[in-house]
Amino acid sequence: MAHPAPTDTPLLFASVLDDDPDLADALDGPATAARGVATARVVGVRPGECDLPPWFEAVGEGPGLLVLGGLVVARTRVADRVVADLIGPGDLLQAPAADRDDTVPSEASWQALRPGRLAVLDAAFAQRTLPWPQIGHALLRRSERRAGDLRAIRAICAQPRLEVRLVLLLHRLAGRFGRVEPAGLRLTLPLTHRLLGQLAAAERPSISNALGRLARAGIVTGKPGDWHLHGTLDEQLARLSGSSLPHTIPPG
């Protein structure tokens, strides 16, 4: 099990604007003066389970943990069901909000899928960067972008057919993490069948069966960690709604 660096380990500091160029681009004019004050402690994470609550506590009233590199999966468990979402560079991680309705308790956990770095944007960071309000506004937009991603994933999971959910989900992820190839898109992410099930609201065996059907139809091929999406999204959805695939595809 891998954890963030313990609190008694000397922490590195970095200029957030150097590690996150998009944040620097949000400034009006040169970012030279802001670079000297927009510094933050940086936590290294290794692949494995991450104990992030101590770092959320260190953030306090600040913006949150800014992902500078790597890939993190955030999981939420309610009863015996687990859902997940992926968090990558540029995303802002914040402590789970206190649940006002504790009649349905939930449990949050985090796992690093790749080595990464998190910047601890605490209240002192927010205070130091007040002369550059564009930084705070950009971070706020990052939070809204993440909320929008979660809403989109929720809508995807509302699709009754698992094949459709998987195609939409993989295209959504490929839009950010994938690359364009002559025949379609390639998504090189450590997405196991179990993790895909947590992302797409399905059990692992159902994911394996659905991926097998998609592979036989030439829509999605590959293996965990290296997925190929053949054709455009519109073409794939048309095939799933038409007669090109067997009519025995059950709902997920």
Give this prediction's pTM: 0.86
How many angstroms separate the Cα of 91 from the Cα of each of 79, 140, 232? 28, 11, 27
pLDDT at 135: 94
**CA 204/CA 52 separation, integer angstroms:** 27
Residues of the chain with pLDDT under 70: 1-11, 98-101, 243-252
Task: Tell me the pLDDT tens digit for each residue of 224-252.
Answer: 899 999 999 999 999 998 744 544 444 44
List every span in the chain annotated with CATH 1.10.10.10: 160-241
DSSP label of 102: T
Q: What percentage of the chain carries pLDDT values higher than 90?
A: 76
The neighbour count for residue 178, using CB atoms within 10 Å, is 20
Q: Which runs of E-coded beta strand occur in the chain?
A: 12-15, 39-45, 48-50, 64-78, 81-87, 92-93, 107-121, 179-181, 184-187, 220-223, 226-230
pLDDT at 31: 76
Which amino acid makes up residue 33?
A: A
pLDDT, position 102: 72
pLDDT at 28: 81
The answer to whether the beta carbons of residues 90 and 145 sit under 8 Å apart is: no
Distance CA(233)–CA(230), nearest Å, equals 9
Q: What is the pLDDT of residues 182-211, one digit of tens each?
A: 889 999 999 999 999 999 999 999 999 999
Please tell me the distance from the alpha carbon of residue 126 to that of residue 70, in angstroms, as a whole number: 24
pLDDT score at 100: 67
What is the residue type of 44?
G
Domain with CATH 2.60.120.10 in the chain: 12-156
Cα 232 off chain centre by: 23
pLDDT of residue 11: 58
Architecture of the CATH domain 12-156:
Sandwich (2.60)
CA distances to 6, 68, 148 from 89, rounded to whole Å, are 22, 5, 16
Beta strands in 153-232 (DSSP E): 179-181, 184-187, 220-223, 226-230
Domain with residues 160-241, CATH architecture: Orthogonal Bundle (1.10)
